[in-house]
A and B are shown apart, each in its own frame.
Chain A
Amino acid sequence: MRPIIEIVGLSKTYASGFTALKHVDLEIQRGEIFALLGPNGAGKTTLISIVCGIVNPSTGTVHVGGHEIRKDFRATRSLIGLVPQELTTDAFESVWATVSFSRGLFGLPPNPAHIEKVLKELSLWDKKDSRIMMLSGGMKRRVLIAKALSHEPKVLFLDEPTAGVDVSLRKDMWEVVRKLRDSGVTIILTTHYLEEAEEMADRIGVITKGELILIEDKAVLMRKLGKKQLTLHLHERLDALPESLSAYSLALNSDGQELIYTYDIQAERTGITRLLKDLAEAGIRFRDLNTTQSSLEDIFVDLVRQTQ
């Protein structure tokens, strides 16, 4: 099936002359949760804004649900719900009014039952008659999510939905996101919390300085991350690895004090017992040992550092 979002050669240079996106290609599959990671100013919001029709692209094309975003803007925008990064809400309207307003804007007839369902899912029901300005920041975030869901979108963009949000709302929110995904909604989120991407996403993209530097299945990424390292701190420094140990994936650090063994935790046998035995036979003794597992965060930080 055709991807729900197809971005080809997308670039954006703002009027100020700043290039926020450089030739981005990206395909989002129907029904997946895609996490877009990247440091501040990487271009995440710019990318989302272009797909949603808030910012005009400089070059490149975007198709949503098979429709081009400028020529068929009605079709593409009807499919999309957006929760913006900034807490921008009306002030004087009631929660109910503002969410109903959003549904109307997107061209749908009133449906109080749907609005009620959305408000209840987001624990906003008892606040439905409150003026928005009376709500706390986290509650306003919920209102923004409710607005985005008011017109039953097929694609949902969440631009840093958990910034400034407490644990309970975060749990509520992921609950809602999972339900949406189960009902076939495609979700694209940006976040600075890597655990979140790790927990929620099916695929992960990393963007820095306007370039997508990595797009990977989370499962594949986790397999890569599934590697663990055993570091042995040696008693005496070694100049080279003994011949008898050449079968292992061993590395000696530059000062010869540490021996690093990389293994796959998912493999049936890690080979550690045998390695330790062979080390003893080779007369290599060690003072200490520790193991490390690289997290998504390490990979991410490494990647971003490499491109700088």
Chain B
Amino acid sequence: MNYHGMRAIYRFEMARTGRTLMQSIVSPVISTSLYFVVFGAAIGSRINQIEGVSYGAFIVPGLIMLTLLTQSIANASFGIYFPRFTGTIYELLSAPLSFIEILVGYVGAAASKSIILGLIILATAGFFVPLHIAHPFWMLAFLLLTSVAFSLFGFIIGIWADGFEKLQIIPLLIITPLTFLGGTFYSISVLPAPWNTIALFNPVVYLVSGFRWSFYEVADVSVVLSLFMTVAFLAICLAVVGWMFKTGYRLRN
């Protein structure tokens, strides 16, 4: 194993975050705070408690998930796409690094950033609403699994994309709608039929539900199912990455 190589990539990526602190840390925190103000305070005052949880507190896990998904994808896809775009990828390809090691470097860094960001948002939320975390271990487990899975997904997009447009298109056209429709701001049980059934085809529902359960022990779907879906998504991403590795897809001519 090339530990120094993995560490070099990881630190390079983390340093990039440090340089773009405004963009990568401050702006997600500000936008999340805005959600709290708008949804939590303004709308929340008119909404009764949902399953015994105040609305402001109820949306915290969903907001964290929203950030985790978008940031994991954005960071990981940009991280690997940019060297391809500038040509500095030559060095990565000529280094004694296996694809797995490259993956660990980039995905590890992207996931770390998301986790840090998620925890920062959690702390920020604590200023607005009283927080209660029933299962800290599972909270962290969901945080970790989701960050890794969606960083992997972002990595795949970063390799697949052959232009900045493609880099944006999946997060914009698929991930954002799925998150907003995935019970981030509401419990899907409030949806009328048949939408509450259709919602079950949205994978984000399972992520948000499981994560929310670790806070308040309320869930739209069973936790085991949530966990299963998260791990399944992770496994699918790993399989795709494995295939890319075997074929040298878009990396080596």
Do A106 and B15 touch (CB < 8 A)?
A: no
- CB-CB contacts of A267-302 with B at 8 A, as 1s and 0s? 000000000000000000000000000000000000
Given contacts A107-B5, A147-B91, contact A56 B248 (CB under 8 A): yes
- CB-CB contacts of B86-123 with A at 8 A, as 1s and 0s? 11101111111110000000000000000000000000
Q: How far is A82 from B95 in the complex, measured between Cα atoms in Å?
A: 10
Interface residues on A, range: 20 to 34
Q: Which of chain A's residues 23-44 have a Cβ closer than 8 Å to chain B? A: none
Residue B4 lies at the interface, judged by CB distance under 8 Å to chain A: yes
- CB-CB contacts of B6-20 with A at 8 A, as 1s and 0s? 011101100110010
Do B94 and A77 touch (CB < 8 A)?
A: yes
Given contacts A14-B253, A54-B93, A55-B252, contact A104 B15 (CB under 8 A): no
Among A74, A104, A108, chain B packs the most CB atoms within 10 A around the CB of A104
Q: Which of chain B's residues 18-70 have a Cβ closer than 8 Å to chain A? A: 19
Residue A184 lies at the interface, judged by CB distance under 8 Å to chain B: no
Residue B2 lies at the interface, judged by CB distance under 8 Å to chain A: yes
Q: How far is A273 from B197 in the complex, measured between Cα atoms in Å?
A: 106
The residue that A55 contacts in the complex, of B15, B86, B87, B253, with Cβ under 8 A, is B253
> Closest residue of chain A to B253, judged by CB?
A55
Do A106 and B95 touch (CB < 8 A)?
A: yes
> Closest residue of chain B to A89, judged by CB?
B88
Do B93 and A107 touch (CB < 8 A)?
A: no
Q: How far is A56 from B249 in the complex, measured between Cα atoms in Å?
A: 11
- CB-CB contacts of A96-131 with B at 8 A, as 1s and 0s? 010001111111110000000000000000000000
Q: Which residues from chain A contact B19 at a C-beta distance below 8 Å?
A: 92
With both chains docked as a complex, state the minimum distance between the C-beta of A139 and any C-beta of chain B, in angstroms: 17
Do A52 and B2 touch (CB < 8 A)?
A: no
Do A105 and B248 touch (CB < 8 A)?
A: no
Given contacts A55-B252, A101-B8, contact A107 B96 (CB under 8 A): yes
Do A88 and B4 touch (CB < 8 A)?
A: no
With both chains docked as a complex, state the minimum distance between the C-beta of A11 and any C-beta of chain B, in angstroms: 14
> Closest residue of chain A to B87, judged by CB?
A88
Do A102 and B91 touch (CB < 8 A)?
A: yes
- CB-CB contacts of B193-221 with A at 8 A, as 1s and 0s? 00000000000000000000000000000
Interface of B is mostly: helix
The residue that B96 contacts in the complex, of A49, A56, A77, with Cβ under 8 A, is A77
Q: How far is A106 from B92 in the complex, measured between Cα atoms in Å?
A: 9
Q: Which residues from chain A contact B92 at a C-beta distance below 8 Å?
A: 105
Do A73 and B96 touch (CB < 8 A)?
A: yes
Count of interface residues, chain B, beta-carbon cutoff 8 Å: 27
With both chains docked as a complex, state the minimum distance between the C-beta of B144 and any C-beta of chain A, in angstroms: 25
Given contacts A88-B90, A92-B19, contact A77 B4 (CB under 8 A): no
The residue that A104 contacts in the complex, of B8, B86, B88, B93, with Cβ under 8 A, is B8
Q: Which residues from chain A contact B87 at a C-beta distance below 8 Å?
A: 84, 86, 88
Do B4 and A107 touch (CB < 8 A)?
A: yes
Do A53 and B94 touch (CB < 8 A)?
A: yes
Do B90 and A105 touch (CB < 8 A)?
A: no
Q: How far is A101 from B14 in the complex, measured between Cα atoms in Å?
A: 13
Residue A80 lies at the interface, judged by CB distance under 8 Å to chain B: yes
Q: How far is A49 from B15 in the complex, measured between Cα atoms in Å?
A: 29
Q: Which residues from chain A contact B88 at a C-beta distance below 8 Å?
A: 88-90
Do B15 and A97 touch (CB < 8 A)?
A: yes
With both chains docked as a complex, state the minimum distance between the C-beta of A56 and any C-beta of chain B, in angstroms: 5
The residue that A82 contacts in the complex, of B2, B90, B96, B253, with Cβ under 8 A, is B90
Given contacts A86-B87, A88-B87, contact A54 B5 (CB under 8 A): no
Q: How far is A90 from B117 in the complex, measured between Cα atoms in Å?
A: 26
> Closest residue of chain B to A51, judged by CB?
B94
Do B253 and A15 touch (CB < 8 A)?
A: yes
Q: Which residues from chain A contact B12 at a C-beta distance below 8 Å?
A: 93, 101
With both chains docked as a complex, state the minimum distance between the C-beta of B152 and any C-beta of chain A, in angstroms: 21
User: Can you list 19 A-B contacts (CB < 8 A)?
Assistant: A14-B253, A15-B253, A52-B93, A74-B96, A75-B96, A77-B94, A77-B95, A78-B96, A82-B91, A82-B94, A93-B12, A93-B15, A101-B8, A104-B4, A104-B11, A105-B9, A106-B4, A107-B97, A147-B91
